[in-house]
Chain A
Amino acid sequence: MSTFVLLTITGLGLGAMYFLVASGLSLIYGLMGVLNFAHGAFLTVGAYAAWFAESKLTGISSVGLRFTVAAAIGVVAGAAFAAFVELVFIRPLYQRHIEQVLVTVGISLCTVALVEGIWGSDAKFFVLPSWFAGTTTIAGAHIPNDRWVEIAAAAVVLAGLLAFLRYTRYGLIIRAGVENRGMVTALGIDVRRAFTLVFVLGGLAAGLAGVLSGVYFTSITPDAGTSLLIFAFIVVVIGGLGSIKGSAVAAVVVALVQQYVNYYSTGMGDLSVVLLLALVLLARPAQLAGSTA
């Protein structure tokens, strides 16, 4: 029983990171039709910005405060990089989807190479408050404390995104734009602002995922974003293109399946996720588009 509880909570922590990456990916595809292969680069930039900031913020004596400030810097860096990518690379290629895919693949490769060039390919480690290294015992299972942080962060992002989409004018524009971008423009709305905004939101969430991945996996590497991106794409497809709630549910399902299968059938977790994707594609090939909220 304790093993099952540990696998479940750990799976939820992993699912939290999948969701943080997939939510932005899903919104960007839903609104703009852009398959953003650079999304993993937002995660990498966020993670390394946080790590770099933490190493320079030696004036802050409290480890917890230093990590919090560094994490905030990482999140902002992810968002800023996402805005830069949208404004400089994606916007000039509006409606040219093949070129957009190629440029985002290029950005992804360049970012990994650039980070490796500057900081090397060795893993980097955050200095974390001691609480993170502790465990909480539930039903006999010793749950690493950082899992609660990852789950809580994803829950806050999910609630924030849903509230944003539900209650703000830009949220309304994004929901409408996912359905029919052309008609939103025909109502007199400059939909390009919404494009930049979804990239910024996606970058914020990916930057946060970058920081939390450094906690979950205990280190960051230049290709951390690329690894998570593959599973995030699977989550987006299973959850429904453009659907935030769908991404949240799919992220949990994918991560739990991966965890359970990895444990109970020795390392077949990744294969099980691919099989799950195949099942979804076979069961509802024409219904991949979900509703935004």
Chain B
Amino acid sequence: MSLGGAHVLQGVSFDVPAGGITALLGRNGVGKTTTLRGLLGLVPRSGRVTLAGDAIERQATHRIVARGVGYVPEDRDVFAGLTIEENLRLAERNGSARYDLVYDLFPVLGERPRQRAGTLSGGQQQMLSIARALLNPNRLLLIDEPTKGLAPALVADVAHVLERVAETETALLVEQNLGVVRRLAGSIVVLDQGRVVHVGHASDLDDRALVHRLLGVGAA
């Protein structure tokens, strides 16, 4: 995969097992976000990407999403000038919108549908961003740093929501908070210098030496 003409990821290969959450880990700048964006076709990439056995690497982003790939971007990317209701309505696909689920997970969104997304707090914008991705049933959910910049109480709320999501959907999660990863993920994939350097179980994160070597941090 390349950004601005420079290859930032090369030879990255891993599987996301059906059901539950796989965490994509690595130091800052190793290409985690680029991997997610590459899977969606939002950045130029070559190679092979399959979804439930079907090759999708040549398909346009909107077609990949229509096959059941949800996306929660790193910076939330809610549409600030649109209302909560409009942000959600925009995400509707195939008449299968799950408003009951979304409002059950995030009651605050149902209480103020006409509020502009740009006036929401950072935590509420993150809820809206996740809600937008959960509005439709997903075969794969790509979630990029959902707890970034959130207060500890909100981190726990978001983790709780993702825990519920993991009961029914498959997700690939980029997350810096190892506590959240331990709580949510079943398997992990670690990137370093644009390559996969470790594939294993989330319990591997209990190995302090391994965590220090792979991620450059002490185990929390």
Contact = CB atoms under 8 A, between A and B. Distances in A.
Interface of A: 169, 172-173, 175-176, 179-180, 182-191, 291-292
A172 B90 contact: yes
B151 interface: no
B58 to A, nearest CB: 16
B90 A189 contact: yes
Contact of B90 (A184, A291, A292): A184
B79 A175 contact: yes
B61 interface: yes
B61 A185 contact: yes
A191 B89 CA distance: 16
B51 to A, nearest CB: 14
Given A172-B89, A180-B77, A183-B73, A188 B82 contact: no
Most A CB atoms within 10 A — which of B62, B66, B82?
Answer: B62
A197 B93 CA distance: 20
Interface in B76-112: 77, 79-82, 86, 89-91, 93
A285 B86 CA distance: 30
B82 A172 contact: yes
B165 interface: no
9 contacts: A172-B90, A176-B82, A179-B80, A186-B40, A186-B42, A186-B65, A187-B132, A188-B136, A291-B81
Contacts of A291: 81
Given A184-B90, A187-B90, A292 B73 contact: no
Contact of A175 (B71, B77, B81, B132): B81
Given A172-B90, A185-B65, A291-B81, 17 more contacts: A172-B82, A175-B79, A175-B81, A175-B82, A175-B86, A179-B80, A180-B77, A180-B79, A183-B77, A183-B79, A185-B42, A185-B60, A186-B42, A186-B77, A187-B91, A188-B62, A292-B81
Contacts of A189: 62, 90
A187 B65 contact: yes
B12 to A, nearest CB: 20
A238 B143 CA distance: 39
A172 B82 CA distance: 8
A173 B42 contact: no
B61 A173 contact: no
B93 A188 contact: yes
B79 A185 contact: no
B103 to A, nearest CB: 19
B124 to A, nearest CB: 17
Contact of B62 (A169, A172, A185): A185
Contacts of A186: 40, 42, 61, 65, 71, 73, 77
B90 A173 contact: yes
Contacts of A292: 81
Contact of A179 (B40, B66, B79, B93): B79
Contacts of A169: 89
Contact of A176 (B40, B61, B71, B90): B90
Contacts of B42: 182, 185-186
Given A180-B79, A183-B77, A191 B62 contact: yes
Contacts of A179: 79-82
Nearest to A187: B91
Most A CB atoms within 10 A — which of B65, B71, B81, B93?
Answer: B81
Contacts of B71: 186-187
Q: Which 8 A/B pairs are nearest by Cβ-Cβ distance?
A: A188-B65, A183-B77, A176-B79, A185-B61, A190-B62, A188-B66, A186-B71, A187-B91
